Structure 1
Amino acid sequence: ILNSLLTLLNARRYTHGTTTVNVPLISLFAASNEVPTDEALSALFDRFLLRVRCDYLDSYHFRGLLQKGIDIETRQMAEAGDPRGVKARKVTSAKELMSLQQRFGDFMRFSEDFLATFKGLVFQIRSEGIGLSDRRVVKLLKMFAASAIFDGRKEVNDADFFVLRHVWNTPEQEELLQEIVGPVLDRWYDAHPDQARIGATPTSLQDLLEELRIIRETLSGSEVLSDMQLFSQLRNLGDIKAALQRMPDNPAAQRMIGEVDKLLEAMFASSRFV
């Protein structure tokens, strides 16, 4: 099975007995409950250029999670009786992707400065003990180009290096990659303050304000909170503050940071945290 899958990924062919079928594969996505550690899987794991860990959403995204969950469940129940099965929501068509693939060479142009920065990042990543094969390094150029395309650009720039945060081999390497790639991204966005960060989870100021209101009411209520509940609210306030700090040009967000700080000071000043 592994050899068949590797052939499928490398050559876009599937062989069964004496029959070989060409497979029009564009991209392959996989999901796993754990990162493979078996040496026999290393070649296959290396074929997956990017690794993304799905974690719990922050508290201020919780209402949105529930609403989207309700919408999906309602749609699935409504379509359950359809003999064609539940319809998948189309993000883009295979035809559009194949058309883009045929023109992809037009986007595979990189400046010397970009390549020099990429080289520095690759060798810094490797020097920290994070394995990054030459094969993946070359393939990552396509990821940079794809990032630019889906951001509406014809040329790559340093903002596209955000994909390097997802080249880890173990989850423990995520933080280290952020420390390596983060400064490059920060410099680019500091020089281009009008640009929104690629790959950032969209955050609604209204959602943050609503979550802050709920926390304030919870802390000021008559109910005595347990230590676990208090620490949960501390974590939520920290998440909210981190999200607000990603909006330096929004006056309302900066005012809300002051409110968060006041709540944090009040909590730490209480005898529960002495």
Structure 2
Amino acid sequence: MQTISTQPAPLSTDAVVVREAIARARTGLVDREVVAEVVALCAVAGEHVLVIGAPGTAKSEAVRRTADQFGGRYFEYLLGRFTEPSEIFGPVDLRRLREGFVEFETAGMLPEAEVAFLDEVFLGSTAVLNTLLGILNERVFRRGSTLVTCPLRVCVGAANSLPDDPALAAFADRFLAHVFVNPVPDARLDELLEVGWAASSRPSERAGSLLPTLDRLSRAADGCDLQGVRGPLAAAIRQLRQAGVPLSDRRVVRSQRLVAAAAAMDGRTTATADDLWVLPLIAPTPHTQASAREVLSDLLARGRNGSLVYAAEEFARGERARAARLVDAGSRLLDEVGTGPLTHDDRLRIEATLREIDAGFVLADAPQALRDTRGLLVAAIQR
């Protein structure tokens, strides 16, 4: 499988570092890999992500694990109808108030966070959401005499469902990427039960803050060459709008940031049609995301990403993305089982991966990397 690449080595190295961090974040989660990867994509793009799903579907756990890998200053809050702005943005500075100035103490609060998670985000009051808009859009907190430039890389909002209120729908539009989470499918229930029983509260291992790495990737995304992909991107947007997918001009323009971030996280400084798999993410509802996949199926089938293998497969639905994910899964499985005797569970996992490869690909037509990985898996199970 060939990759178009003009990047200097450090960019490729940073992409690998983030890839490994995402892998650690998703360890112990079942069918929530896409959430972790999209949060990382948006952190590099400098955009925000909305995660929608029923209660008990591990939305919060996936976000927390990913944020833990990022490091830096983290803010989390569960919003309610009676949440006061001071609970999110900080209380009034009483000392300054006695001097006649209305200022706010923001230490440890959202205005000074680098990664934020707001659960039940649509339950916030008008005062909370209006103030939040300034932080999301401009990275600036303004209240009274207080003016704070916010270091926020990404804000994740979570809710059980999309709002019907038009005002709240407009607020939801500020989150560029939308991820919809369903209960774990029946085919993976055995895995869910096993992982859930073995789960512990210990944090995932992390070596220092990942934020400098994310910042370098963000700068690479800012400088990404999009010239060759703007024509296909514009054509795709026209197709989506003609199919009834509502996309504001703001979402259309900012979709380029996801495309550029996807290229950077694949270790490249030039975006290609391979990166347009991100487009269904900007469709606002499950129905319109399904429409986007259908309308753009031929274009999206080219998509793949070496760092975001699960997200690329989910939204591209193509063989290249599936092959990349299976190569990643097979390689990690080989690392985990090592070179010693296999346990019964190891054999079952290898057999399951081999079945998926053989069911999805004609071996003679499969990418070389996937054929190599399959060969190593076969050799492992025969030892």
Normalised by the size of structure 2, how large is the TM-score? 0.46
Kindly tell me: are residues 8 and 89 of structure 1, through their superposed partners in 2, closer, same or farther at Cα, counting changes over 3 Å?
Answer: farther
Number of the residue aligned with 2:153: 26
Q: 8, 13, 29: which one pairs with 2:140? A: 13
**Aligned 8 A contact 1:61 1:207 in 2:** no
**How has the CA–CA distance of structure 1 residues 156 and 102 changed in structure 2, closer, same or farther, with 3 Å as cutoff?**
closer
Asked if structure 2 preserves the Cα contact closer than 8 Å seen for 1:159 and 1:198, the reply is no
Report the Cα distance in structure 1 between the residues aligned to 2:232 and 2:269, rounded to whole angstroms: 19
Q: Quick check: 1:168 aligned with 2:295?
A: no
SS of the aligned residue for 2:142 comes to strand
- Could you tell me how far apart the structure 2 residues matched to 1:62 and 1:111 are? 45
Alignment match, 1:69: 196
Q: What CA distance in whole angstroms lies between the structure 2 residues aligned with 1:100 and 1:184?
A: 25
- 2:223 is the counterpart of 1:110: no
CA RMSD of aligned residues (A): 3.5
Match of 1:121 in 2: 236
Question: How far does residue 102 in structure 1 lie from its aligned partner after superposition?
Answer: 3.4
| Aligned-partner Cα distance in 1 for 2:227–2:360 | 29
Residues 9-29 of structure 1: per-residue CA shift (max 9 Å, x gap): 111112233212211011121
Give secondary structure in 2 for the equivalent of 1:129: coil
Q: Residue type of the partner of 1:151?
A: D
Which 5+ residue runs of structure 2 have no aligned equivalent?
1-127, 304-308, 315-324, 331-347, 367-383
Aligned pairs (5 A) from 1:49-198:
49-71=176-198, 73-74=199-200, 76=201, 79=202, 87=203, 90=206, 93-107=210-224, 109-112=225-228, 114-186=229-301, 188=302
Partner Cα separation in structure 2 for residue 23 and residue 176 of structure 1: 36
The answer to whether the 8 A contact 1:51-1:167 is kept is yes
Please list every run of 5 or more consecutive structure 1 residues that lacks an aligned counterpart in the other structure: 80-86, 190-195, 212-239, 253-274
**Separation (CA, whole Å) in 2 of partners of 1:102 and 1:153:** 12
Counterpart CA distance in 2 for 1:165 and 1:150 is: 18
Which 10-residue stretch deviates more, 169-178 or 90-99? 90-99
Provide the rounded CA distance (Å) in 1 between the counterparts of 2:190 and 2:138.
44
**Offset at residue 122 of structure 1 (A):** 0.4
How far apart in 2 are the matches of 1:199 and 1:156?
Answer: 15
Indicate how the Cα distance of structure 1 residues 146 and 63 shifts in structure 2: closer, same or farther if over 3 A, else same.
farther
| Residue 167 of structure 1: how far off its partner (Å) | 2.1
- Decide which of 313, 318, 340 is 1:200's aligned counterpart: 313
2:372 — aligned with what? none
Count how many residue pairs are aligned between Structure 1 and Structure 2: 206
Q: Does 1:40 align with 2:157?
A: no
Q: Is the 8 A contact 1:159 1:197 kept in 2?
A: no
Deviation track 1:91-130 (CA, whole Å, cap 9, x = no partner) reads 97122222333343322x1234x21111111011111221
Work out whether residues 135 and 150 of structure 2, in 8 Å CA contact, stay in contact via their aligned partners in 1: yes
Instruction: Write 1 or 2 for the structure with the bigger share of helix.
Output: 1
- Counterpart residue type for residue 212 of structure 2: K
**CA pair 12-251 structure 1, distance change in 2 beyond 3 A:** closer
Q: Which amino acid aligns with 1:97?
A: L
Higher Cα radius of gyration: 1
1:162 and 1:181 in contact (8 A); partners too: no
Counterpart of 1:51, as a letter, is: H
Q: Is the 2:263–2:269 Cα contact (8 Å) retained in structure 1?
A: yes
Q: In structure 2, what residue type is equivalent to 1:110? A: L
**Quick check: which one's strand share is greater?**
2
Does the aligned pair in 1 maintain the 2:221–2:264 contact within 8 Å?
Answer: no
Separation of aligned partners in 1, 2:272 and 2:195: 33
CA contact (8 A) 1:158 1:184 kept: yes
**TM alignment of 1:248-259, pairs within 5 A:** 248-249=362-363
**Structure 1 Cα separation of the partners of residues 362 and 185 of structure 2:** 20
Q: Deviations over 1:150-207 (max 9, x none)?
A: 2222221212111112222222222211111211123x37xxxxxx886226456865
